[in-house]
Amino acid sequence: MRPFDYYQPESFDEAFKLLTMPDKVVMPLAGSTDLIPMVRDERWSPDIVVDIKELPGLRDIKPVAGGPGCGVCEGECLYVGAAVRMSEIARSPLVNRHWGVLAQAAGAVGHEQVRNRATLGGNMGTASPAGDTLSALLVLEAEVLIQGAGGERCIPVTKFFLGPRKTALRPGEIIVAVLLPPLPEGSAGSYERLSRRRGADLALVGVSALAVPYAGGYQWRLALCAVAPTPIRVPEAEAVLSAGHDAVSLEQAAQLALAASHPIDDVRATAAYRREMVVRLTRRALQHVVEQLEH
């Protein structure tokens, strides 16, 4: 592997000094499951990697009252540190309490060895359109807590993903955590995905669906990954479902999900196959949510 220098700063100040070193390619490192293969393939060439996973607060999962500084969450948010591992998210009783769709998505990443290393912040930092946790973060309307040498900011996840491997992070900034706004009792979610090899391949299509009790009915949210340059919400389908989730609406929503998808041909699948799978996986995800609502 091409040589680089590794640092593990103990404080944010020290981390930001390293992350803003002039004339150097500096990259944060968490679980290294994307970074090491990329460096080995000579697609990324960092001069310096800064291991951020032991920074204070990055491995915490905890309820917080209101978002620190963001003011979005009125009730109790769930704070999930950027360096929390997928296996921890998948098994976390706190995440599973109301935000289970994220636990399901984290549990779908790679295989056990990968999940024991891969982090939420790394999945977001890589910003692959196929990243499994991204559509779940969209339906949960997560806020992204970001910190840099200039201070802290919090942005909605809808403004975070800008394109394949492109995020709203400015040079030297890192993701500290995501904040999951509270959901009322009786909410139900589901993540469905398809890949070529179960356990070690990116999603060909991923679908997150969530129904939230609202004004005597439900407000629905639907998001897709791997079918556009970024993960997307499908507001047209959400509107149909929120008006009533009978069989006809479910089918209409699946077709609207298809209309919103613009997948590409690549080594994993053809665009045509992906389009077919958008319909099927959307149906399945919606059906799973309906089953939970009826229980």
Ligand X SMILES: Cc1cc2nc3c(=O)[nH]c(=O)nc-3n(C[C@H](O)[C@H](O)[C@H](O)COP(=O)(O)OP(=O)(O)OC[C@H]3O[C@@H](n4cnc5c(N)ncnc54)[C@H](O)[C@@H]3O)c2cc1C
Please report which helix (H) or strand (E) contains residue 190, including its range. Answer: strand 188-194
Q: Please tell me the total number of residues recorded for the chain in this structure.
A: 295
Residue 175 or 241 with smaller CB distance to ligand X: 175
Which of these segments, 113-121, 148-156, 247-255, 262-270, binds ligand X (CB under 6 A)? 113-121
Residue 187's nearest CA partner among 90, 77, 289 is: 289
Structure tokens at 223: 């998001």
Which of these segments, 11-19, 26-34, 92-100, 243-251, binds ligand X (CB under 6 A)? 26-34
Asked if 40 and 31 count as a contact pair (C-beta separation under 8 A), the reply is no
CB of 50 to ligand X, least distance (A): 8
Beta-carbon-side half-sphere exposure of residue 59 (alpha carbons within 13 Å): 13
Residue 233's nearest CA partner among 165, 157, 175 is: 157
Residue 122 near ligand X by CB under 6 A: yes
Structure tokens at 269: 């699948």
The entry of another protein, ligand X, none that residue 121 binds, CB within 5 to 8 Å by partner kind: ligand X
Residues 6+ apart with CB under 8 A from 221: 138, 139, 141, 208, 209, 210, 211, 212, 233, 238
- Out of 4, 18, 19, 33, name the contact with ligand X by CB under 6 A: 33
- Out of 198, 244, 246, 291, name the contact with another protein by CB under 8 A: 198
Instruction: Lay out the site mask for another protein across 59-98 (x = CB under 8 A, - = otherwise).
Output: ----------------------------x-----------
Asked if 86 and 105 count as a contact pair (C-beta separation under 8 A), the reply is no
Looking at residues 24 to 63 of the shown chain, list those that interact with another protein (rule: CB under 8 A).
Answer: 29, 32-33, 36-37, 39-40, 49, 51
Using CB under 6 A, list all residues that contact ligand X: 27-35, 37, 52, 82, 109-110, 114, 117-119, 121-123, 125-126, 131-132, 169, 174-175, 200, 202
Using CB under 8 A, list all residues that contact another protein: 1-6, 8, 29, 32-33, 36-37, 39-40, 49, 51, 87, 110-114, 116-117, 198-200
